[in-house]
Amino acid sequence: MKNLKRRKFADKAAHWTITFGGAATVFIILVFFVFIFLEVYPLLKGAKVLKQSTHPLNGEVVSIGVDEQQEIAYSAYKDGDIEFISLSNGHAFKRHHITGLNDSAIASIDNDNNHLVLGTNNGSILKISIDFSESFDKGERTVLPEISEEESVLIDDEKKGIDYITSRGGDTTKVTVAHTEDGRLILKSTETRSTLFGVEERKETKKDITSITAQYSLNQFIPPNSSPSQEGGVGKLKPGTTLAIHNPTNLTEQRNKLEITSLVLDHCMENLYVGTSSGEIFHINIKDKENPFLQEKIKVSNKTVTALCFLLGDVSLIVGDGGGGVNVWMQVRDEKSSSGWFLKKIHTLKSHNAPVLAIAPSKRDKGFVTAASNGTIHLNHATSEQTLLNLETKSIPTAVTFSPKADGILIADSNSKLVQWNISNPHPETSLKTLFGRAWYEGYEKPEFVWQSSGGTDDFEPKLCLIPLIFGTIKGTIYSMIIAVPIGILAALYTSQFLHKTLKTIKPLIEIMAALPSVILGFLAGLWLAPLVERIFPALVIMPFLIILSIATAFYLWKLLPTRLKGRYGYGVETLFLIPFIVGAVYAATQLNVISESLLFGGDYREWLSNILGLKYDQRNAAVVGFTMGFAVIPLIFTISEDAMSNVPHNLVSASLALGATSWQTAIRVVLPTASPGIFSAVMIGFGRAVGETMIVLMATGNTPIMDWNLFNGFRALAANIAVEIPESPVGGTLYRVLFMAALLLFITTFIINTLAEIVRQKMRRRYSKL
């Protein structure tokens, strides 16, 4: 009775222990899934407004700005005053009058990161810098605005008002381009150089470049066959040619016909873009300030070009038009173009359905804010082609700015109101398109799948497409399974059905291979195997043929041996007779390495692969990874497959042999089908091992995220990418969460594959259990 109670208690204890263990396993897996998903979920959320506030202004505003912490904003008024406003309470605590204006008024303004360049109504320009400094007193931080003015400079000798102005400056060079109210385009540059004796030399250049924009427009009404010598006109001109105006009257008429509506200059001070009322953009090359020329003219819209602005980095040009269209253009390489480049539209954003009045780029990423005459404000991101926020005001915006940390938008409107939106927009560059589709990145000739998470400059455009990593994972898995599956299954078949019992101690030795750390295998593959393969590649090409020949020779000689001699050894020991022949074939192939390279590859196999097959050979490539990772997967497939084949009922094998089937026929037609559920499980476990492999892929490949099935170049897998980049990624940042998304993809993929594999295994088990 006591023994019965003990057994019942032991049964219940075992039952609940196993149940608890299984439930705990499932719970832990769910916890891992929930944790990973919670890290990924913020990528799926868009931008949102945290707070909106409105503050009064005291006049007609032409430009606004804000400090990094969004504590102080400034507004520049048309009458020449600059007012500083505390955004915490809306009070104006400081007002500064621009002394350099004298009796003139502001006619146009260019705001480059709080460096204001003012164009006046009497043809002068004035540069003002606004800085924000911080001071600490008894632990309290105070932000103090500072203003500095430069002397007013006359840019137009005729003292006409400046309608549009753009200016950029560096340590030694400053360039300003102004469009006057009578239609002239003036370029002014100042360059300071130091001589060998430390004396500074200042060189100023002022040039009227109106004729550059006029030359193409004049061609619209000049007969094609007219000659430059004909009175009152010019002939057809090519880009970059100098225009000689023979009739000033025509030029004046053309100025009135061609209305310039916007200007923008890049920070290199080499490229000037001019927008017109006809929807065209003139690209003027001003690298040589004394000899600028028209590099390109392109039609960008059927409406007036109302706003031009560069994104961070000055590669992408934002174009806003009179119909509300917002597009991003970029210089793309073109061999047919005389300059080798041409302007091409690469991104289209949501339309305002009203003329775009202002554009404010982000100082942190490829985002920007656009404002239109109907009061709509859009927060956009160029790379992901998303309009992240749609905001509205009750009146017409007159100025807009994007906070330095890209966490706030401020606009001044025609009702003398300053509207501020505090926003949360942590991951603007991610969307389904940028994560899993082709995106058109700066510097690329077409949309592509690209992974490049970091760069050497602050204006770098993150490229976070997961497709190259998924491709690399599939590529490495396929190449490793091509090696591991046939070797593992055939070795298991031979070991279970043909190998002599005294030699079956080889199975524990193969199982020990599975205990080798993958970091050791990766180390050997990267530092020993990859250079070896590179050195003896021609020998590896002829090696399979020599091995097959050696095996055939060994079989032939084995048959020639007397039966009495072969009978001394047990069945299955002939493998030992085969080994010396295979070793000899490998040795012969290595000795023929130089000869085979000369005969098969013309003396240089790298050049042959490149010229004949178009394949580039890298030392650390997919072939090396496939072999090494296959070596790591073989023990798993071999062990499970061998157990499945050894557990096939002996009565089935005996019955097959009794019916006259050979051992080989029995192994193929009876043992393999019966053991197929176990073999299938072995393959799936090996597949999961290959998919999740990290260190071998990390150390034995070039770790380059490229999409190419070439056996001789590298790749980057999801798991290896996580190992490489997660230590460098800021916690909570976009890269950090995208890496967790890669982990989530691996998790889900493994779960789905294992589930399907179990379903297939159960079906195969029911099918072959009736044998």
The per-residue pLDDT for 392 is 92
The arithmetic mean of pLDDT across residues 730-744, rounded, is 93
Strand order in the sheet with 48-56: 48-56, 417-424, 408-413, 397-402
Q: Does position 345 have pLDDT exceeding 90, yes or no?
A: yes
Cα separation, 217 vs 254, in Å, equals 7
Q: Does position 199 have pLDDT exceeding 80, yes or no?
A: no
The per-residue pLDDT for 222 is 36
Separation of CA 97 from chain center:
47
Its sign, for the CA torsion 8, 11, 15, 18, is positive
C-alpha closest to that of 645 among 692, 682, 604 = 682
Cα separation, 187 vs 24, in Å, equals 75
Tens of pLDDT, residue by residue over 455-474, are 777 778 999 999 999 999 99
User: What one-character-per-residue DSSP string does 495-518 give?
Assistant: HHHTS-GGGTTHHHHHHHHTTS-H
Written as six digits, the tokens of 19 are: 């149940």
Separation of CA 212 from chain center:
38
Tens of pLDDT, residue by residue over 498-537, are 887 777 778 888 888 888 888 999 999 989 999 999 999 9
The per-residue pLDDT for 556 is 86
C-alpha closest to that of 120 among 94, 75, 155 = 155
**Comparing 374-378, 562-566, 737-741, 746-750, which segment has the lowest mean pLDDT?**
562-566
Q: Does position 251 have pLDDT exceeding 50, yes or no?
A: no
Please report how many Cα atoms fall inside a 13 Å half-sphere around the Cα of residue 697, on the Cβ side.
28
Q: Does position 244 have pLDDT exceeding 50, yes or no?
A: no
Cα separation, 582 vs 19, in Å, equals 52
The per-residue pLDDT for 515 is 82
The per-residue pLDDT for 508 is 84
Cα separation, 212 vs 300, in Å, equals 19
Separation of CA 333 from chain center:
20
The per-residue pLDDT for 243 is 33
Written as six digits, the tokens of 550 are: 């050696």
* Collapsed DSSP state (helix, strand, coil) of residue 107: strand
334 contact partners, CB below 8 Å, separation of at least 6: 340, 341, 342
Tens of pLDDT, residue by residue over 103-152, are 888 999 998 888 899 999 899 999 999 999 888 877 788 888 999 998 88
Q: Does position 613 have pLDDT exceeding 80, yes or no?
A: yes
The per-residue pLDDT for 447 is 92
The per-residue pLDDT for 380 is 95
Amino acid type, 202:
R
Give helix 622-646 / helix 672-691 axis angle, nearest 10°. Answer: 140
Q: Does position 253 have pLDDT exceeding 60, yes or no?
A: no
pTM score? 0.86
Q: Report in angstroms the alpha-carbon separations of 744 from 263, 466, 468, 739, 770.
A: 47, 12, 16, 9, 40
Tens of pLDDT, residue by residue over 145-188, are 999 998 888 898 888 899 999 999 887 889 999 999 988 999 99
The arithmetic mean of pLDDT across residues 266-284, rounded, is 92
Q: Band of the pLDDT at 246, cuts 50, 70, 90? A: very low
The better pLDDT of the pair 565, 581 is held by: 581
The per-residue pLDDT for 629 is 92
